[in-house]
Amino acid sequence: MVYLPKLHLQLRNRILRDLFRLPIFKVPADRSYEAAIEQHNNQLPILSENDFSVVETLRREGICFTSLEALGLASTEKVMKAVAKILPNLKPASPSQKNQFIVHADPAEIIKYPALFLWGLEERLLDIGENYLGLPLAYHGVYFRKDLANAVKIKSRLWHIDVEDRRMFKVIVYLDDVTEDAGPMEYVPKFFTSSLYKALKYHYGYVADEKMEAVIPRSNWRSCAGLSGTVVFLDPTSIFHRGKVPLNSDRFTLFFDYTSRQPKHPFYCKSCLPEADLRLLSKNFSQRQKECVFWRSGTRRG
């Protein structure tokens, strides 16, 4: 693999992204995606009534709220134990990085507590995600985030739509109460998405509050404030969203990320852990879990 400096990488991704918008690439890629969805339609996992309604809500609204308690996944207790161990080891903000607004747990910490990564591979979550995307999932892993209470207002703290794939599936777990002042995610209901694309002439990138407010009043913005243990299922390609700046306390969350295995922009997809660590972790994975993690190498179901 060729490693490029960050700036070169951003430039390369932008060039590729613009190339992928050209009809010569876009039309066949979209056709192949639609065909894959149609082909997979009768292979989708069967869902319980409750999980089916999660998928329906996601389709209708782009977002669905539940809780760890309501989900009742067997490995949640192990995850919470891992969280308690990792939390004190999260690094403080670096004084040399003026624009820093997130601290992520070190991959070395994540690998020490496999339950954290494995929670995102719980069969039920895979079933919900697969039904929502209509395709087998690629799992990009878990991010343990501390969103810093500071005034930095760049990147994901501005309004945007995620670009990795045509549809995405994210599961966000609140590790603390996320009050209005603790940086809850905000979004504009899905009903407005297509008119916002037009009004903002939006393709990619970030939109400042003033510009957003000029096309949709703040009274239509929605907040995702919630108690510790809240779980948010989200398709960040379907609704304009942003992290509100936390005013008086840092925000602690887990983000579990998924796309299809033929994402629109594969060059934007990256795993939370290096390949060698994934190999170590995967020793006891089921065939399906392996396929979700090593999707780039095209592992086949056994």
Closest distance between Fe ion and the C-beta of residue 161, in Å? 8
- Binding segment for Fe ion among 43-51, 58-66, 155-163, 286-294 (CB under 5 A)? 155-163
Residues 60-99 that bind Fe ion (CB under 5 A): none
Which of 183/236 has CB closer to Fe ion? 236
- Binding segment for Fe ion among 117-125, 130-138, 236-244, 286-294 (CB under 5 A)? 236-244
- Number of Cβ atoms within 10 Å of the Cβ of 242: 22
Residues 216-235 that bind Fe ion (CB under 5 A): none
Q: Any idea of the CA torsion for 82, 227, 129, 154, to the nearest 10 degrees?
A: -90
Verify binding: residue 162, Fe ion, rule CB under 5 A. yes
User: Which single residue brings its beta carbon nearest to Fe ion?
Assistant: 236
Verify binding: residue 236, Fe ion, rule CB under 5 A. yes
Which of 136/236 has CB closer to Fe ion? 236
Verify binding: residue 130, Fe ion, rule CB under 5 A. no
Q: Which two tokens stand for residue 106?
A: 């070190």
Closest distance between Fe ion and the C-beta of residue 160, in Å? 6
- Binding segment for Fe ion among 158-166, 181-189, 244-252, 267-275 (CB under 5 A)? 158-166
- Binding segment for Fe ion among 34-42, 88-96, 114-122, 162-170 (CB under 5 A)? 162-170
Query: Which residues in this chain contact Fe ion in the complex, by CB under 5 A?
Result: 162, 236
